[in-house]
Structure 1
Amino acid sequence: MTDVRALLTGVYEMVRQDLPTLLSMRRNITWKDDGSPVTDADLRVEKHVHAYLRAHLPDLTFVCEESYAPGGDESPTAWTAVLDPIDGTENFCSGFKEWGVSLSLWHEGAHAGSALLLPELGDSLMSGDKIEYQRSRIIGFSSSITDELAARVARAGEARIMGCAVYNLFNVTRGALAGFSNPAGAKSWDILAGLMLAREHGCDIDVEGALYGGHYLRPDRKYRFDIRHRYDLHPG
């Protein structure tokens, strides 16, 4: 039987030990066609995590932001890994510590385990972790600014835009954010691990306007979502 917890922990330890090298690469930037940055560190994390998982899961389907091509691996097979090697690259290459690694493992279409890693902050959240829930009335929002998002921010009262889905998902799962919303949509590698962990910890989750039941999200599209933590300090 595959020890998924050991795999997730192994990935975190590998990234943590490689952190000095990754930080030295934060200014080695190239630009994607959409104008967003990618650093040598993004590619390094992808390469090392892929090799590590492939060594333990030989039949692996690997879905990753930096190497994904539409029309490729879009449905889970025996083992599937969905990875965002550095989520919040804009934060990372600007010198912020609020960036993370998102990894979700699936076996024959069923969720096997997920991890949100915040290496520079020295924190992580994995499937099976016990956490002390916080209470908050702060709503986190994605940094993809639209008219709808701006209107929601104006209504939220206490709002935060952090520029990193992993950081937001980590904090809404533990209750430091009362909610996290992305009305513009995000790809599966940005959110799948976080959605599964939020679901594990009892958050209410809507994806594309419907209650999220924990199903696999295909990587060939974006998904709009709202997450609400059970410990919400808003009156009523």
Structure 2
Amino acid sequence: MQGNDLALLQDAAREAGKLALRHAMKTPHVTDKPGGAGPVTDADLAVDALLKARLTTARPDYGWLSEETPDSDARLTHRHTFIVDPIDGTRSFIAGTKDWAHSLAIARDGVVVAAVVFLPCHKALYAAEIGGGATLNGRRIQVSSVSDMGSAKVLTAKPTMESQHWATGQVPPFQRKFRSSLAWRMCLVAEGAFDGMVTLRPTWEWDIAGGALILSEAGGTVTDRTGQPLQFNNVMPQTNGVVAAPTDLHRQIAHALI
């Protein structure tokens, strides 16, 4: 990293939050992405343009990967790459609720080394730098001490609770909860508000890169659904799902999955 990359991400996220909140005061213009990839609003595109200009101007030698920018193989030639979701939780943004976030990360040689997840409506800024721990609004955070699935609160979508995903055919006895933003789910686990998160579908890197570092720096274990470590800035920028939790709980969940 050069300079203070974490400070750069924090400043950019706050700037993005101000822009997004101005858009949130108006009825968003919504279009559907090709191939059933979901909705996109004028706010998503405006925030993407702001972040790309702000970050790549400050670090012109870094690559760029964002949900709202057409992908380019050029990012694969850079040792450092920004991985950005301008608005994670676009459906929440469209609905006028508060559970959307800006997710910003920097990967070096495939490993996330600096990350920020910012929820402007909640005034919550999560941040982490590799080896430096994780914070929420400057206060150190850590994962819960829950180690048993029977007493765990796990953030996951309803289809996860179908028996075909579990090795014994029995759905684990954890309590399912849900939040629309994947980045925020990971941060809620990082601060100990929930005990784990699971997503079994192929997962875009921009949804999870920031949260993955924040959660791991808060003492949790983060892998794909098979227990393999996450790598970022892949040719196809997806992971094979995500399982994230305190280490003992993570081991139980990963072992129970098919």
- TM-score with structure 2 length normalisation? 0.78
Aligned-pair distance for 1:224? 1.0
Unaligned runs of 5+ in 1: none
In the other structure, the counterpart of 1:141 is 156
Aligned-pair distance for 1:19? 3.8
In the other structure, the counterpart of 2:41 is 39
What is the letter of the counterpart of residue 51 of structure 2?
Answer: V
Moved more, 153-162 or 113-122: 153-162
Per-residue deviation, residues 17-56 of structure 1 (Å, max 9, x unmatched): 3243221355211111206111101001100000001121
Picking from 158, 166, 173, the partner of 2:183 is 166
Structure 1 residues 222 and 79: alpha-carbon distance in aligned structure 2, compared to 1, 3 A threshold: closer
Structure 1 residues 19 and 38: alpha-carbon distance in aligned structure 2, compared to 1, 3 A threshold: closer
Unaligned runs of 5+ in 2: 147-151, 250-258
Aligned-pair distance for 1:133? 4.0
For the 8 Å contact 1:177–1:229, the answer to whether it is kept is: no
What is the letter of the counterpart of residue 172 of structure 1?
Answer: V
In the other structure, the counterpart of 2:96 is 95
In the other structure, the counterpart of 2:84 is 83
In the other structure, the counterpart of 2:149 is none
For the 8 Å contact 2:143–2:215, the answer to whether it is kept is: no
Aligned-pair distance for 1:132? 4.0
1:105 matched to 2:106? The reply is yes
1:216 matched to 2:242? The reply is no
Moved more, 27-36 or 118-127: 27-36
Q: Separation in 2 of the partners of 1:75 and 1:149?
A: 36
Structure 1 residues 206 and 54: alpha-carbon distance in aligned structure 2, compared to 1, 3 A threshold: closer
In the other structure, the counterpart of 1:48 is 50
What secondary structure is seen at the aligned counterpart in 2 of 1:177? Answer: coil
Per-residue deviation, residues 169-206 of structure 1 (Å, max 9, x unmatched): 11011111110000112110011111111111110222
Moved more, 73-82 or 97-106: 73-82
Picking from 115, 139, 155, the partner of 2:172 is 155
Structure 1 residues 26 and 180: alpha-carbon distance in aligned structure 2, compared to 1, 3 A threshold: farther
Structure 1 residues 26 and 165: alpha-carbon distance in aligned structure 2, compared to 1, 3 A threshold: farther
Q: Separation in 2 of the partners of 1:231 and 1:173?
A: 15
For the 8 Å contact 2:107–2:233, the answer to whether it is kept is: no
Aligned-pair distance for 1:219? 5.9
For the 8 Å contact 2:75–2:81, the answer to whether it is kept is: no
Q: Separation in 2 of the partners of 1:190 and 1:14?
A: 19
- Of all paired residues, the percent bearing the same amino acid is 20
What secondary structure is seen at the aligned counterpart in 2 of 1:155? Answer: coil
For the 8 Å contact 2:14–2:118, the answer to whether it is kept is: no
What secondary structure is seen at the aligned counterpart in 2 of 1:140? Answer: strand
What secondary structure is seen at the aligned counterpart in 2 of 1:210? Answer: coil
